[in-house]
Amino acid sequence: MDTKVNAVMLKATDYGENDKILTLLTAERGKITAGIKGVKKAGARLKFAAQPFCFAEYVLAGKGGRYTVTGCSECESFYELRTDICKFYAASAAAEAALALTFEGDESAEIFAELVKTLGEMCAGEERGALVNFLTYSLQRAGYAFNPEKCPHCGKTLVGENRLRFDMSTGSFTCADCGDGPGASRATFNVIRKVSGKSYEEDFITADGEKRALRLIREYFSYKTDSSFKALSEYIRLI
């Protein structure tokens, strides 16, 4: 019996001469792996279904616990993300994060909805802030929330401090005297406070601050998931 799912295509892996294996993110079932036949041929009917970031209703035929894509109705291609190299790698970083933080069979409605929203925002405008928002939100949903509050050791208020540290094990910012984690800039701290819904210093919300925040998010993400996060590294290099 065929199964229909609304999904975003996260990853496509070559299989054989003309086929691919797709990893799809769905709201109800988390990640689903499905084969799709003949899509490497010129003019293949379902070629679009294997394109990066394709958001569509996929029709899946199941047999023996395996799925094959037999039909697809596109909702949104997010084509602009494939024509701008910075947007492409930002979107790839979002997809890579979703791939690492979701699981097969688990309900993933929040991350799925946030991913679709983020890809749309990246198409329509500047992608850097949208990526910071998505990564911070996804980490929080996975149980790895940032804690940009007072120093957890001495209780010192950190807003206005120039020298900070970041504790990878707890996701907490600390004062420079108490913590022993890597250094964190005032700009990074304020960007994380902003996306966490906290008060922040407006002067430190800059493009450089967002880039610094992305570096910290990459290290924290890799620490928590044991992932190299290659797409985000490439995006940071480009900007």
Give the residue from 34, 38, 40 showing the smallest Cα distance to 61: 34
Sort 103 into a burial class: Cβ within 10 Å, 0-12 / 13-18 / 19+: exposed
For residue 9, how many other CB atoms are within 10 A of its CB?
25
pLDDT reported for residue 189: 97
Domains of the chain with CATH codes: 2-76 (2.40.50.140), 80-145+206-238 (no CATH)
Contacts with 10 (C-beta within 8 Å, 6 or more apart), sequence order: 23, 24, 25, 31, 95, 96, 98, 99
**H helix runs in 38-162, sequence order:** 85-101, 109-124, 127-141
Identify the helix (H) or strand (E) that includes residue 155: none
pLDDT digits (tens, 9 = 90+) for 24-62: 999 888 999 999 999 999 889 999 999 999 999 999 998
Task: Give the Cα separation of 145 and 170 in Å (integer).
Answer: 9
pLDDT digits (tens, 9 = 90+) for 136-165: 999 999 999 999 999 999 999 999 999 999
166's tokens: 């970041």
Q: Is the dihedral of CA 221, 131, 52, 88 positive or negative?
A: negative
134's tokens: 């998505």
> Which residue type occupies 159?
V
pLDDT reported for residue 177: 92
pLDDT digits (tens, 9 = 90+) for 87-122: 999 999 999 999 999 999 888 999 999 999 999 999
37's tokens: 């036949």
Q: Is the dihedral of CA 68, 72, 76, 79 positive or negative?
A: positive
pLDDT digits (tens, 9 = 90+) for 171-230: 999 999 998 899 999 999 999 999 999 999 999 999 999 999 999 999 999 999 988 899
pLDDT reported for residue 43: 87
Task: Give the Cα separation of 92 and 103 in Å (integer).
Answer: 18
Task: Give the Cα separation of 13 and 146 in Å (integer).
Answer: 33
